[in-house]
Chains A and B, each alone.
Chain A
């Protein structure tokens, strides 16, 4: 193999040209003025580039640029003349290699990511873009390959995957903790003959647990999607999924709003199960939510609750439920409100929670 001590890129081209094929300097884009530009561009680009000659036995690399040397750690003289597969190693995915082989056979453009090995044995994720280059007669002349080190992207993906797995694990454990708390409360209630109290406590704890559950995936964003929390608090009250209608966009709120919101919805649903739209066979509830701006231009999260089809309401019932008292106080701490109107066909309630600006 020719080893020039001048400009390596040029030498390699000369090698490519010394392969016995007719080479038309006028027509070939790798020579003349545009050829010079090409060589300079190839020398300066940070993208590793190589050309292989599929007409030679074993489809060897006939050209590579400096970036290719830098990426792989090999010197040009180690590279030229070899098939690209010398960059593969034991952990290279053979399915991806098969795709490359197929693309070369069918002369198609292909982008694959595969694990390649440097001269020192270290690995990198290579986003390989390859495609055929034809001469003026439309005959296959070279295969072009550009290599890009995407190890950082792979690492980021792996970290994201890991983070998701962790979030799932935390979520699973959190559910388990809530289940265990429920167990303790129930057992204690039985032992102290206070079942009715502990049932109430447990219902509220479990509602709270459900309200927080969908927030885990989102927590890193600093806000949570309201709809998920609302659905997961209310789902147990509508096992068939045909009594409560949800209507809202992707409105978000602070995680801190979850406890007041979750407990309030729980009280509304409990009330509906006992006296309202969920106490008979065919009442329904529509829950909708949106952001609203008050006259001081402060944003609030508003959740509307409307029951219908439940037992007819003749007059405003006397609400003495401690549940609503707790909910209202909780909401008040965040300057939120709970308004209830007893309409003839069912309760209308509105939860309003100011958002921190």
Chain B
């Protein structure tokens, strides 16, 4: 089973994404802050990730994005406001899916990345 990391601080969006990934036959782990996400990456081999960019109180997903890039794990930025992403995040040139978008679109877009995934 494919393991997907979700970093999202809005519970309803997180739940919707998690269910959508489960529907697609993937196992999704939800984290709400960078610290939790980095810890999860440390002990789980993820095959992809969906990152909300703005995590509240000025925190962005940047450290997680950098770590995923370092590990060569494909990820998707899921955001309503890319302007706040900051320089380092923009430099990664990660694929972006604008919020709001359907959870199923998020799933198929992530599965479509780099041809590394096939929808289950």
Binding site for B on A (CB under 8 A): 168, 171-172, 175-176, 178-184, 186-187, 190, 199, 202-203, 206, 209, 236
Contact = CB atoms under 8 A, between A and B. Distances in A.
Contacts of A175: 80-81, 98-100
Contacts, number: 62
Given A168-B83, A180-B10, A180-B12, A186 B100 contact: no
Most buried by B among A168, A176, A184: A176
Contacts of A184: 12
A183 to B, nearest CB: 4
Interface in B1-30: 10, 12-13, 15-16, 19-20, 23
B116 interface: no
Interface residues of B, number: 21
B103 interface: yes
Contact of A182 (B23, B98, B102): B102
Most buried by B among A179, A181, A199, A203: A179
A321 B105 CA distance: 23
B13 A187 contact: no
A168 B12 CA distance: 23
A202 B100 CA distance: 10
> Which are the 10 A-B pairs with shortest beta-carbon distances?
A175-B80, A183-B16, A179-B100, A183-B12, A178-B100, A172-B81, A179-B99, A186-B16, A183-B13, A180-B12
A178 B101 CA distance: 9
B100 A187 contact: no
14 contacts: A171-B81, A172-B80, A172-B84, A175-B81, A175-B100, A179-B13, A180-B10, A183-B12, A183-B103, A187-B15, A187-B19, A202-B102, A236-B101, A236-B105
Contacts of A176: 10, 80, 99-100
Contact of B13 (A168, A180, A199, A209): A180
Given A168-B83, A179-B13, A179-B80, A186 B101 contact: no
B82 to A, nearest CB: 10
Contacts of A180: 10, 12-13
Contacts of A203: 102
A182 B80 contact: no
Contacts of A168: 81, 83
Contacts of A206: 100-102
B47 to A, nearest CB: 23
Contacts of B20: 186
B81 A182 contact: no
Contacts of B12: 180, 183-184, 187
A184 B10 CA distance: 12
Nearest to B23: A190
A188 to B, nearest CB: 10
Interface in B83-119: 83-84, 98-105
Contact of B19 (A172, A178, A181, A186): A186
Given A186-B103, A209-B100, 4 more contacts: A172-B84, A175-B81, A176-B99, A183-B10
A184 B20 CA distance: 13
A183 B15 contact: yes
Contacts of B54: 172
Contact of B103 (A172, A178, A182): A182
A186 B102 CA distance: 9
Contacts of B101: 179, 206, 236
